[in-house]
Structure 1
Amino acid sequence: MAGTSEHAKRPVSALLAGPYGHPIHPILVTVPIGAWVCSLVFDLGSHATGEPRVLAAGSQWLIAIGVVGALAAAMVGFLDLFAIPTATPAFRTGLVHMGLNLAVTAAYAGNLAWRLAAGQPVDGVPVGPLVLSVASLVALAVSGYLGGKLAYRYGVRVAAESAQAEGFTRTPAHRR
């Protein structure tokens, strides 16, 4: 069992996925999460300002940035998934996490296409794209929960406790 879980802590490619104890995937996911949350703020703000077109255009840019960021995070996330032994709860959780993230990315790509086809709104972002953004963020939150489960419960790409202990070992100069 320890060998199985230890395998999931090591990168398939340290160059591409980040070295042991320093995975790149968690860093990259902040781009789409932040961009898509901000796009919803811009969407809502487009209904509360006299210049809805500016915020609607900003939201479109944020959605596009999020899609590109999500694709980059997915490439690295695939490498982390390959490190997890198949037929395990961690692997099944990883598959659901990946599927949700791909669905959310596709939903945002479709949302962007919808907005571009509709043109710039006069009175704020239309209800359809706004609802799609909210639903996509809810799915993203569920996927984020599963990503947390992978890291914090199953220890995927997290350094072993023996390595973590280094951070809690007092040196003689700091003993109390």
Structure 2
Amino acid sequence: MTSPLHRAKRPATALAGPYGHPFHPILVTVPIGAWVTSLIFDLASYVVPDPAFLVRGSLWLIATGVLGALGAALLGFLDFLGIERGTAAYRTGIVHMCLNLTVTAAYGLAWAWRATGDAAAEPVAAGQVALSAVSLAALAVSGYLGGKLAYRYGVRVADEKTQAEGFHT
């Protein structure tokens, strides 16, 4: 019989990545990078004479982030399946997952809001910039919780015996 901690370190399926090297943390870089860059484009749209290329770029970055987030969510859910119910790690995983799904939905709505507009000569609307900023703040909180799952609770992290192999001379 294996312990709950041991089960949380093992992949639920090969799709989640091999032992000690999950795919979820690799994929989260896509939405994080896309959404941070979209906010930078949004802000830059206020300081250039013709912001249309930044407005269009931000729209596509948001779409890229949503698609990347859906892939990361699938793999993160596979990692979540190994966590024992009723534990602190499980509760943290629930909050992490709910925040990420909320942020992804907010960016999906942001994309729809922007796609119906005209990317002519106007900067991104202030409400759209505010939605992106609030969504990124929520994503930062969720990222902290994801780090807590991995680095404090050891979800999908190799055990210490395996880690020690990297420190033998």
TM over 0.5: yes
Paired AA for residue 60 in structure 2: W
Kindly name which structure, 1 or 2, has the bigger radius of gyration based on alpha carbons.
Answer: 1
State the 1:121 CA deviation: 4.7
Q: Which moved more, 1:43-52 or 1:115-124?
A: 115-124
State the 1:118 CA deviation: 2.0
Unaligned 5+ segments in structure 2 are none
The residue aligned with 2:62 is: 63
Percent identity, aligned pairs only, is: 62
Unaligned 5+ segments in structure 1 are 171-176
Query: Residues 31-60 of structure 1: CA distance to partner in whole angstroms, max 9, x if unpaired?
Result: 000000000000001111012110000000
The residue aligned with 1:9 is: 9
Paired AA for residue 61 in structure 1: W
State the 1:120 CA deviation: 1.4
Paired AA for residue 11 in structure 2: P
The residue aligned with 1:34 is: 33
CA RMSD of aligned residues (A): 0.9
The residue aligned with 2:74 is: 75
Query: Residues 84-130 of structure 1: CA distance to partner in whole angstroms, max 9, x if unpaired?
Result: 01110000100000000000000000001111112215320000100
Length-normalised TM-score, structure 1: 0.94
The residue aligned with 1:50 is: 49
Within 5 A, what are the aligned runs for 1:97-136? 97-136=96-135
Length-normalised TM-score, structure 2: 0.97
Paired AA for residue 5 in structure 1: L
- Cα distance in 2 for partners of 1:36, 1:106 equals 13
- Cα distance in 2 for partners of 1:151, 1:67 equals 23
The residue aligned with 1:138 is: 137
